[in-house]
Chain A
Amino acid sequence: MPKKTIFLSMPALVFLGSILAVAQNSGVASGYPVRKGDLTEQQRTGEGLYRRYCIGCHGDKGDGNGENAPYIDPKPRDFTLAQFKCRSTPTGTLPLDSDLIHSLERGLRGSNMPSWLPLSSENREDLVAYIKTFSPRWKTEKPGAPIEIPPEPEVTADRVKAGQQLFQKLECWKCHGVEGRGDGPSAPTLTDSKDRPIPPYDFSQGHKFKCGVTDEDLFRIFMTGLDGTPMPSFADNVKPDEAWELVFYLRTLQPMKTKEKAIAKQLGLKPINPETNSSSAPQ
């Protein structure tokens, strides 16, 4: 008899398990009220995942006011504005889906946003589809055209030196400091678009950036700017070749051993001198 009971219970267990899995992915387990509206199948799946994994910080309305938000700094993203820091598209434009997916994959360094690599790539796409329902911009606008990133040239002494000159000419040091430590003269007064204090990136503190870790990510960061922050786009005034030179110089400011750093050492490269830049009054 016990054998029969176990045999009969198996389908029931499988059935119960399936219901639980569906319930969890549909957000029933989160205890939050279910959002109404016409959603596609993919958005519905994304909604379930969102309610399970994201709602605590980003909130029921996607406005970044989840129950954990008061305790989090930097604050969770407000999806109702459709404004994103990490994009491959010009400042002021919508990002590509792939930009949002990359943010989900790697998480955002220096914030509470973890990497969502444990989810399947399909589920990350579902989440992006759902996140896009929070702002009407996604219905009326198309993402901007991604900025062009030519193949990375070879790192040379000339390019590292040229990068340093750009660092001075573009006045990156005004916020990031002459040695890239995030201690420039404008650093203490910087605020984000919601008027919250925000520090500039300190290159001496690590090798990762909020929007990635590769040379291409670094290229993209200063060319597109980080919307919603004081970091502007330089795409109008920096040619792609120059952008690579700046990337190479910025790598010399970071703590890890890199080819760029070795070259800088060989050259005896000293930090820039702001006095030689623009500080003289016009005649």
Chain B
Amino acid sequence: MRTRCQLVCTAGALVIAAFCLLHTARSVSAAADGKITGTVKLEGTPAHQRPIDMAKEPYCQKLHAGHPVTTETVVTGPNGTLKNVVVYISEGLAAAASSQVPSETPTWDQKGCQYIPHVMALDVNQHFKVTNSDQTSHNIHPMPKPGGPNHEWNKSQPIGAPPFDVSWQAQEVAIHVKCNVHPWMSGYMAVVKGPTGVSDDHGSYTLDQVPPGDYTLTAWQETYGTQTQKVTVGAGKPATADFTFKAK
């Protein structure tokens, strides 16, 4: 009789524990379900993008024959939308939410003597892959702020070299990356704690996994600098925050 009672009690306790666990998991999931979306636009005439002369690298010059590429310091889309803008939460994110490191490993490719993507957002300590898709050697030379917590390095990646895996140890918006062999190659890595997004061809961005709360959002563009605005994310209610940069 006593054994049966013990069994029933244990089973009951297990059911309650399982229920609590499930409930907590759902709460966490709901907490991180929030979303911030928006569009980034440019008002005024965008800075002139000069054509890139790749004559010193015949491989890449031939690759772009007929459709020469230009610099990418300002890239606009339809209706004055602005590409390659990094949007991130600069204030208000709880330590727990900002300490989660995404498991995805994005790729920083060197293709056609250009960086693909031109701007990449990463979390602190998030691993990313550096690849060379070109039939020419590149040197990858990220230049974090001198004296800051991230440190400059410079690695060669010859033709056919395997990808290598790296990460940045501290927040920094943004780290300029260059190739000394091909001086026109220029790109940026934005290292940010917590959810972040980069505006696409239509100027749209999305920040996923944002817990409900009041935040300050910052948008960074390599030529026009930064802008901030406040935003509130409600439970299960996506927030919208549009940015407009003014051409200098």
Q: Which residues of A pack against B, CB within 8 Å? A: 78, 80-81, 83, 91-93, 135, 137, 169-171, 174-175, 185-186, 189-191, 193, 225, 227-234, 236-237, 278-282
Contact = CB atoms under 8 A, between A and B. Distances in A.
B146 interface: yes
Interface residues of B, number: 30
Contact of A232 (B65, B139, B147): B139
B180 A237 contact: no
A225 B154 contact: yes
Contacts of A279: 58-59
A171 B152 CA distance: 22
B152 A237 contact: no
Given A81-B146, A231-B154, A169 B159 contact: yes
B164 interface: yes
Given A171-B136, A189-B183, A237 B158 contact: yes
Interface string B139-166: 1110100110001111111110100100
A232 B161 CA distance: 14
16 contacts: A80-B147, A83-B151, A186-B183, A227-B154, A231-B154, A232-B140, A232-B154, A232-B155, A233-B154, A236-B155, A237-B156, A237-B161, A278-B59, A278-B135, A281-B58, A282-B59
Given A186-B56, A279-B58, A280-B59, A230 B154 contact: yes
Interface of B: 56, 58-59, 62-63, 65, 135-137, 139-141, 143, 146-147, 151-159, 161, 164, 180-183
Given A91-B155, A278-B135, A171 B181 contact: yes
B147 A228 contact: no
A233 B158 CA distance: 11
B181 A91 contact: no
Nearest to B139: A232
Contact of B182 (A186, A231, A281, A282): A186
B104 to A, nearest CB: 23
A59 to B, nearest CB: 15
A67 to B, nearest CB: 22
Given A232-B139, A280-B59, 5 more contacts: A91-B155, A186-B56, A227-B153, A229-B154, A279-B58
Contacts of B147: 80-81, 135
Contact of A170 (B56, B152, B156): B156
A137 B157 CA distance: 27
Nearest to B182: A186
B135 A175 contact: no
B141 A232 contact: yes
Contacts of A78: 146
Contacts of A229: 154
Nearest to A226: B154
A279 B134 CA distance: 11
A234 B65 CA distance: 31
Nearest to B161: A237
A191 B183 CA distance: 9
Nearest to B130: A236
Contacts of A189: 183
A171 B155 contact: no
A188 to B, nearest CB: 9
Nearest to B164: A236
